[in-house]
Amino acid sequence: MRLLLARHGQSLWNQVRKFQGANDVGLSDLGRVQSAALGRALRTGYRVAAAYVSPMCRALDTAEIALAGTGIPLVPIPELRELSLGEWEGCTVDEVRAREGNPYHAWVRSPLDCPPPGGEPLPDVCGRVLKAIGQIGARHRNGDDVLVVAHGGVISVYLCHLLGLSFNSLWRMRIDNCSLTIARPPRLVSVNDTAHLPSTPNTAWFDVS
């Protein structure tokens, strides 16, 4: 299996740097443009045999736009949803930094041990994501190109697993909107490819700088 991991297009909250997590936020206009560009890249460079998607609307809409006219059915998998950020959802990164102080910085350094207040524990996220991707792999053992449209957190979890890194390294991964990360498990081929996207400012899913 060649696994094509795509992050969803820019959402309305990505646009204003709000934490969204489990909130079901739709795509911005740029996000729709990015999704169409992703579709062109998939049609010209790959032969997608199956598509799995987070059930959140920003991922579903991205996949629907990217695969429009292909006839490839989308298979929603609840375990591919983004991690919940609890009380931080709906707040901007700057607001959370200013309000939370030490808990925010502890989460950046050690997300395994310091989830946001009311947020989903990272070990639970890792468990569901890796189980879902493992099940996808078990269905496609014949070299198929398999598309997964999900979220920055989901893709970063899988990258940590594939590279043998601690999940405390999660926020060191840059995963842009509508980027492609490609693996032939257990090998990683490429990360965060954005060459197919328009030359407009992109939004890394999380930025600690």
Tell me the pLDDT tens digit for each residue of 135-168. 999 999 999 999 999 999 999 999 999 999 999 9
Mean pLDDT score, 45-52? 98
Confidence band of 184 (pLDDT split at 50, 70, 90): very high
Asked if the model's pLDDT at residue 93 lies above 90, the reply is: no
Q: What is the mean pLDDT of residues 164-175?
A: 95
Average per-residue pLDDT in the chain?
A: 94
100 by Cβ neighbours in 10 Å (0-12 / 13-18 / 19+) ranks as middle
Give catalytic status of residue 8 as yes or no: yes
The torsion defined by the Cα of 55, 56, 57 and 61, in degrees rounded to 10, comes to: -60
Instruction: Quote the CA–CA distance of 63 and 165 in Å, as a whole number.
Output: 29
Does residue 196 have an active-site annotation?
Answer: no
Instruction: Say yes or no to pLDDT of 208 above 80.
Output: no
Task: State residue 131's pLDDT score.
Answer: 99
- Enter the tokens of residue 22: 């489990």
| Residue 200 reports pLDDT greater than 90 | no
**For residue 203, what pLDDT is reported?**
64
pLDDT value for 102: 83
Mean pLDDT of 171-180: 95
Strand partners, 176: 204
**What pLDDT shows up at residue 101?**
78
- The widest CA-to-CA distance across the chain, in whole angstroms, is 50
The two three-digit tokens of residue 20, written as one number: 């969204």
Residues 138, 147 contacting (CB under 8 angstroms): no
Instruction: Report pLDDT for 206.
Output: 57
| Chain segment 55-92, per-residue pLDDT in tens | 999 999 999 999 999 999 999 999 999 999 999 999 99
Burial (CB count within 10 angstroms: exposed 0-12, middle 13-18, buried 19+), residue 138? exposed
What is the token pair recorded at 136? Answer: 């996808």
CATH number for the domain whose boundaries are 2-193: 3.40.50.1240
Give the tens place of pLDDT for each residue, 97-127: 898 878 888 998 999 999 999 999 999 999 9
Residue 209's pLDDT band, with cuts at 50, 70 and 90, is: very low
Q: Which of 64, 79, 82, 100 is catalytic?
A: 82
The pTM score is 0.95
Contact 42, 66 (CB under 8 A): yes
Mean pLDDT of 26-44: 98
